[in-house]
Chain A
Amino acid sequence: QVRLDQWGAGVLKPSETLSLNCAVYGGSFSGYYWTWIRQPPGKGLEWIGEINHSGSTNYSPSLKSRLTISVDTSKNQFSLQLSSVTAADTAVYHCARRVDYNNSIDSWGQGTLVTVSS
């Protein structure tokens, strides 16, 4: 059974860089796309982007200019960096696993609330 544990700073000021990490335990690290999804408080889900074990990425066009997703296969970890944050970036950020052969998100981290406030 795969487990995704995530961590990172929960409070940021406008213009700072959001940085989150996600460690994967159990199961294979290759053969999947490792994904970030966010959810503003009380609202729906927004796909941010993903990376596979080889470092191949897919990004949301609306965030691409501020977004970096990276992977460390030696630690089975992947990371999210979102620069120049504003209050609109306040959300619960989830790391998750996408299954390549059916394009579904089948495993999720617990989520990290990131609040952007001056």
Chain B
Amino acid sequence: DIVMTQTPLSSPVTLGQPASISCRSSQGLVHSDGNTYLSWLQQRPGQPPRLLIYKISDRFSGVPDRFSGSGAGTDFTLEISRVEAEDVAVYYCMQGSQFPYTFGQGTRLEI
């Protein structure tokens, strides 16, 4: 299985300031079709996860443009340009390039 490792596991942030979460995979995520299926999800307390970013950097419908994704190979990053109160949540990276699909441990963003 591909192991996804996120850092940090907890991140205190200041409203209006940027935030960044890293995700590293134990092996490269380039699929045989040439795409890299790395996505980011947000889970607010008491809610199911919500898709933010797919294929490293494509923003899902309705996701604010303060969220952006980047990376390649085995290293990926989720950035929030200016943190808002509603961004308090746990963030997960997920690889969809090889079965079984796997998730990072989650990063808790705290104000």
Contact = CB atoms under 8 A, between A and B. Distances in A.
Given A102-B58, A104-B54, A105-B94, A47 B48 contact: no
B67 interface: no
20 contacts: A44-B104, A45-B41, A45-B94, A46-B103, A61-B1, A61-B100, A94-B49, A102-B35, A102-B39, A103-B31, A103-B37, A103-B39, A103-B97, A104-B60, A105-B39, A105-B51, A105-B94, A106-B60, A108-B48, A108-B50
Given A62-B100, A103-B35, A103-B54, 6 more contacts: A45-B106, A58-B100, A60-B100, A103-B97, A105-B41, A105-B94
Interface string B83-94: 000000000101
State the majority secondary structure of interface residues on B.
Answer: loop
B48 A94 contact: yes
Interface residues of B, number: 26
A103 B104 contact: no
B104 A47 contact: no
Interface in B14-38: 31, 35, 37
A102 B54 contact: yes
B92 A45 contact: yes
Nearest to B58: A102
A96 B96 CA distance: 14
A15 B54 CA distance: 38
The 3 lowest CB-CB distance pairs between A and B, nearest first, are A103-B96, A104-B54, A108-B48
A38 B49 CA distance: 11
Interface in B49-63: 49-51, 54-55, 58, 60
